Amino acid sequence: MKLKFKVTGMSCSVCAASVEKAAGRVAGVQNAGVSLSEEQLICFGTEQMDADAIRRAVSDAGFGAELVQGIKAPDKREKTRADREIFVRLIVSFLCFLPVFYLAMGEMFKIPVPEFCSRMESPLVNACLQALFTLPVLILNRVFYRRGAKAVLIGKPSMDTLVSLGSGAAVLYSAAQIVRHLIDRTYAIPTLCFESAAMILTLVTFGKFLEHRAQRKTSDALHALMDLAPERVRVLRDGKEVWCDPEELRQGELIVIRPGETIAADGVIFSGESALDTSTLTGESIPRDVRTGDRVLSGSINLQGALTVKIEKIPQESTLAQMIRFVEEAGVTKAPETRLADRISGVFVPIVTVIAVLAAVFWLVYGKDLGFSIAIGIAVLVVSCPCALGLATPVSITAALGNSARRGILIREAGAFDRLKKADTVVLDKTGTITEGKPRVQKVCAVNDENALLRTAISLEALSEHPLAKAVCAYALEVPRREVEAFAAVFGKGVRGTIGKQTALGGSEAFLRENGVDTSALAGFAEEEYRAGNTLLHFSLGETYLGFFAVADTVREQSADAIRALKEAGLCVYMLTGDRKLNSESLAKRVGIDRVLSEVLPQEKGAAIDALRAEGKRVIMVGDGVNDAPALICADLGVSLGSGTDIAVNSADVILLHNDLSDLPRLIRYAARVGRVIRQNLFWAFFYNTLAIPVAAGALYLPFGITLNPMIAAAAMSVSSIFVVTNALRLYRGKEF
């Protein structure tokens, strides 16, 4: 069971961790994950999991939570309102900060200041004006104080706590100096910190504004998928077209899709022909021509004629819904680097607060004045914001997941990137993965009369359901058939029937010999085809041997190139199949595979993967069938083709919607790039804090006389977060794909 919530009030990774912890304590919740960029909580658990209980738990932790049902694209009006609100806050804060900065620093920078408000000539007026212009900045950005106080009350101090402590201390210190001067006019007003408080709040808001815009870009692919789901659908009921909500559709119903409209559910075209735009689903830019009988996917856009589609999967179970679900759920899973950053962020804020207090006390004891000591404490609080550390991995993973989905690769969980880049072995299932999974006739060899061979073969095999029989029928489709009586299929051997007054046989060479037919006439040709890895279907009429069809599964166009790319990347490539050794090795040689695991029964495939892992190999298993599911689960990473069975798709960690093996080496290269970007971000976040906190605490003051002004500290903190988000956004372009 899964429940999804829209969460409000989160500002950093510490907030996200608080929400996860609160939801995880609710009865029935087995796992809870938060996507900070999507402001979303997803809970997995038993049927006893209660949405109201989760909502109350999140509320008690100081955040808002609203249950989200079905596929809902983000409310564009809400996003626009949020963008406008933070933009207005930024502009007004900046306009108010300018006069504060002018009044506090104008004379220092040799900028003329009128005598009536000069800091030197009229210190009280100057101080009161600074306080007056700082007040709107405090009011506009009160959200930091509200969230910071909530975080402290629940025992989870966050980035907002640091910002509110730093700016609040600056304001209180400055206000206390004004009050002291009013009480004792002989007390000279020292340098105030109003400009530091205004600058801190303005710069943090600016950083949040840029961060907010950048994070939204990382979710573009998910939002584009959500936007594909139509709000209303035409459905044929009682012979009439009626509008209904997609949630009301049922399997087997007929829906009508006009040009320009989006298909709401997976199905088969009942009538009509058109061209479909599937670019958002599969990354394929060329429209796909479709006609009656073709399968279509939800989220495809009809470009030309009207279509009537018979629903096979309702919208909630469709390909589009599955893609959205995979991307959403992957976004709330934790990569190993995220778990490390979460643990550090959880203790980071309390440690920084202690460092700030100790630094301020040290300088007071050392003999510096109160203003200097408080400025040091404020600088430590502001410069050490854990935002960059908390964003380093989640933003990178979100961008990578979005880019992968945009290109037709669905990834179930964030840790898949880590396992992809660490893998050293790829095991490929043969049928349906390396090959198309659709046998085709490669050669026809007749003893004398090829027409007699074709007529006998199509007459017999038209009555059979065997895949090899269908390959023969497809080849001899235009050949006229003869009437067959007493047809029978002999399991594992072939088929027999009566044509005219003669017995007709089709199947293995041994089957014909058992029935007294001599097949030696083409023995040399047959041996050559066996060595090529083909399966032979022999036919006879009466006692006359007619010839054989050489049938083989067609190798996918991209298989050889993909296998070569995997080997060039340093991976060891195996082929896993239940087929005979001779056939398997012949095919493996054609596509460039040196290692073959053949004649492996379906129930033995999982054990084969376990054996490779026992040797210390890190295995990626690629398959598409029901019998591949155990191997997909046993591997370090399971990869399924989009055309695979539901069981294979549900067992895999990665789904290649294009059914193109070439996507796998590209994805492995991309995973290495994702890892590099995450490491860069984590290095920057750790390096920044390791360097900035000691400097802010005054480590360079005694030897060099250098201190970190709180305003510069605020700017540095904002730059660090912006750098991390911008670096992560490079993954959205994904040049490796």
Helices and strands counted in the chain (H then E): 27, 26
Cβ contact 275:263 at 8 Å: no
Q: What single-letter amino acid sits at 112?
A: P
What is the length of the chain? 737
Instruction: Return the SS3 of 555.
Output: strand
Instruction: Return the SS3 of 323.
Output: helix
Contacts of residue 320, Cβ cutoff 8 Å, sequence gap at least 6:
71, 225, 228, 229, 281, 297, 298, 299
- Please name which of 398, 400, 357, 325 lies closest in space to residue 16, comparing C-alpha atoms: 398
Residue with tokens 């279907």: 537
Contacts of residue 1, Cβ cutoff 8 Å, sequence gap at least 6:
44, 45, 46, 47, 49
Token pair of 604 as six digits: 């033995």
Q: Which of 342, 429, 636, 653 is catalytic?
A: 429
Token pair of 422 as six digits: 């660490």
Cα radius of gyration (the chain): 35
The residues pairing with 44 across neighbouring beta strands, listed in sequence order, are 2, 31
Instruction: Write the DSSP string, 33-56.
Output: EEETTTTEEEEEE-TT--HHHHHH
* Separation between Cα atoms, residue 614 and residue 608, nearest integer Å: 10
* Separation between Cα atoms, residue 48 and residue 29, nearest integer Å: 8
Distances from the Cα of 606 to the Cα of 574, 578, 585, 623, 629, angstroms? 14, 13, 21, 12, 8
Contacts of residue 560, Cβ cutoff 8 Å, sequence gap at least 6:
590, 591, 592
Cβ contact 40:34 at 8 Å: yes
Distances from the Cα of 576 to the Cα of 431, 566, 594, 733, angstroms? 9, 16, 12, 35
Cβ contact 657:647 at 8 Å: no
Question: Which H helix or E strand runs over 81?
Answer: helix 76-105
Buried b (16+ CB within 10 A) or exposed e, 164-175: bbbbbbbbebbb
- Please name which of 251, 317, 282, 324 lies closest in space to residue 643, comparing C-alpha atoms: 282
**Exposed/middle/buried for 701, CB within 10 Å: 0-12, 13-18, 19+?**
middle
* Separation between Cα atoms, residue 648 and residue 633, nearest integer Å: 9
- Please name which of 737, 721, 733 lies closest in space to residue 205, comparing C-alpha atoms: 721
Token pair of 543 as six digits: 């006692």
Verify whether residue 646 is a known catalytic residue.
Answer: no
* Separation between Cα atoms, residue 334 and residue 390, nearest integer Å: 12
Positions marked catalytic: 429
